Amino acid sequence: MFIQLRKITVSEGSAEKVINQFSKPGIIEEQEGIVDIKILEKKVRRGEEEVIILVTWESEEHWKQWEKSDAHIAGHKAKRNQQKPEHILNVEVGMYEVKAVKKPAEK
């Protein structure tokens, strides 16, 4: 398996905007090899907030197919001249190959 991790830092009170955006149905869910998308919110009391998007693929090759797909490229071209929303302070992206998965012991 292969995971793309996107950490989005937003201004206080803005995490829900990002969560709603990534929770909407999209064409990525229709792609071959997609396993799931997890949307995580870091619990904070005050200040900047974080949202983590974990996109799990069956393999790195499936992810590469998505990255090179016409639909993915068209989506980025459509947003090319748009300004980043003010509530988004930083975005970090990382790619990870899953090396091991541990499951609970059978009872």
CATH number for the domain spanning 26: value is 3.30.70.100
> Which domain range does residue 91 map to?
2-97
CB count within 10 Å of CB 23 equals 11
pLDDT averaged per 10 residues in sequence order, the chain, 107 residues = 97 94 92 96 88 97 93 80 88 96 90
Distance CA 10, CA 88 (A): 5
**What is the pLDDT, as a whole number, of residue 84?**
83
Q: 10 with 88: CB under 8 angstroms?
A: yes
**What is the pLDDT, as a whole number, of residue 25?**
93
107 lies in some domain: no
Q: Residue 51: left if φ>0, alpha if ψ -120 to 50, beta else—which one?
A: beta
105 lies in some domain: no
Predicted structure pTM score: 0.86
- When divided into structural domains, the chain yields a total of 1
Determine phi and psi for 71, rounding to 5 degrees. -65, -45
